[in-house]
Structure 1
Amino acid sequence: MAHHAREAEVIDTGSLKRRWITYVIGIYILTMGISLAIRAGIGISPQSSLTRTMTLVYKPLSQGTYNFILELFMLLLTYLVARKDFRLKSFASLIPAFVLATCLDLNLMLTRSIVFQAYFEKFSLLVFADALLAFGLFLMIRANLVLMPIDMFVNTLFRRTGLKWGDIKTSFDCTLLVISAAIGFALLGGPKFIREGTFMNAILVGQYIKLYFFLFHRIKTAIASHYRRSLEHRPY
């Protein structure tokens, strides 16, 4: 799951059980962040804007269901791009995708009573929501387990094209944003859920993750330093 050297520094190489617990907690926190961002009402991430828009197009299906459908479609695209390099174990990515979809619907239900009128309150909620979303991603990176189909698709394009991973991810997010806006114009009278918060999400989540990496490194260094001092002062 680590895409860069700095991500490799936080990877947990401990027990598989602990890593799975970390991964599932990360998914839950991430979906809570998504839910609160939706409740803020001033724009959400490209992926969330597409699946949220679809809940207005065909209301019987939940956003979690649409999210799972999107992940399933991304797995199909991964197969089409990877071809011979595609492995049956890639279907395991649907397990965390299902957990994410379930947690998303649960958290949307738990946060449905949150309604703010003042813009400052909405803005503050979105800032907090993006912090949660980023922390969930950080925990999932640390667990270093199964990639979600969307991330798997981006990684496959990265290996096939040789382009920079960040450029591919940005292009992918922009594509989802364009699709969301197009559906909004065609069926809903205009784009929905695409506002200033959408662009805030693109900036804040990345900065929050950088902050978590920095804090993790500082805490890890402080603990190691304290441990060395303890050994130096231990009586023999």
Structure 2
Amino acid sequence: MNIYKIRRFTIYISGLLIVALGIALSIRSQLGVSPVTSIPCVLNLTTGISVGSITFGLYLLFIIAQIIILKKEFRKRDWLQIIFSSVFGIFTDIFLYLTLFINFDSIILKLLLCLSSCMVIAFGVFLVVTTDVIMNAPDALCNVISKKYNKKFGNVKIRFDLTLVSIAVLISFLYLGGLEQIGIGTIAAALLIGRFVNMFMGKYKDKVESFYTV
């Protein structure tokens, strides 16, 4: 493995860790979980199945969707998304443990943490997408849709997140009688993360690519 591949893989791993950190921060803001986490969290309350297990199952559905869209274009290495889906939960749990001390009472501080978590998640997604090593299943599906139908990744991400949140809201009202695990932070993430990804893409994509290419 040459130095450029090492750099590319390092940026990729960093991106995964940053996304996991961002998710932990969004949970600590107490204003609502991130869009991708919204369905697993709500289903956890309705079924008792662990959030990690539901997340893994949901990610498998996203992988199946990619296969349906790409057909023979689905690469062998993309199957490694399954491994990522199981490992990503570990990263998230570690950051949730490390951020246990964060417990703000001030709504201003909660809002600032929520906004920060959106930017952190977006920057991690940007690094993962730019390196194109192995994306997590939700972002990989967004990327497939983006390339297949010639749409901006960030715009696809916004619509995708809003769809997940809408499904989570529906499940929450039908089975829990109200909103659970979903709040202003969830809506903010659904609306802002894609836009932040677009911003990072426009400003830093060339610089990041130049770091790991000859």
Residue 139 (structure 1) aligns with: 127
Highest Rg: 1 or 2? 1
In 2 relative to 1, CA 59–115 (structure 1 residues): closer, same or farther, beyond 3 Å? farther
Query: Which of 19, 27, 38 pairs up with 1:38?
Result: 27
Note if contact 2:128-2:134 (Cα within 8 Å) is conserved in structure 1: no
Matched residue type, 1:52: C
Matched residue type, 1:35: A
Counterparts of 2:207 and 2:143 in 1: how far apart (Å)?
A: 30
Give secondary structure in 2 for the equivalent of 1:184. helix
Matched residue type, 2:178: G
Matched residue type, 1:20: F
Matched residue type, 2:123: F
Alignment length, in residue pairs? 206
Q: Does the alignment pair 1:79 with 2:71?
A: no
TM-score between both structures, scaled by the size of structure 1:
0.73
Give secondary structure in 2 for the equivalent of 1:15. helix
Query: Which of 39, 45, 59 pairs up with 1:50?
Result: 39
Residue 17 (structure 2) aligns with: 28
Query: Which of 126, 148, 151 pairs up with 1:164?
Result: 151
Structure 2: segments with no counterpart, 5+ residues? 209-214
Give secondary structure in 1 for the equivalent of 2:43. helix
Residue 68 (structure 1) aligns with: 56
Residue 174 (structure 1) aligns with: 162
Cα offsets for 1:18-56 (capped at 9, x unmatched): 221221121111111111111111123321211222232
Structure 1: segments with no counterpart, 5+ residues? 1-12, 221-236
Cα offsets for 1:57-105 (capped at 9, x unmatched): 24451x3333222111111222233334334332122233333222112
The percentage of aligned residue pairs carrying the same residue is: 28
Query: 1:215 Cα deviation (Å)?
Result: 5.7
Counterparts of 1:142 and 1:169 in 2: how far apart (Å)?
A: 15
RMSD in angstroms over aligned alpha carbons? Answer: 3.0
Counterparts of 2:158 and 2:200 in 1: how far apart (Å)?
A: 21
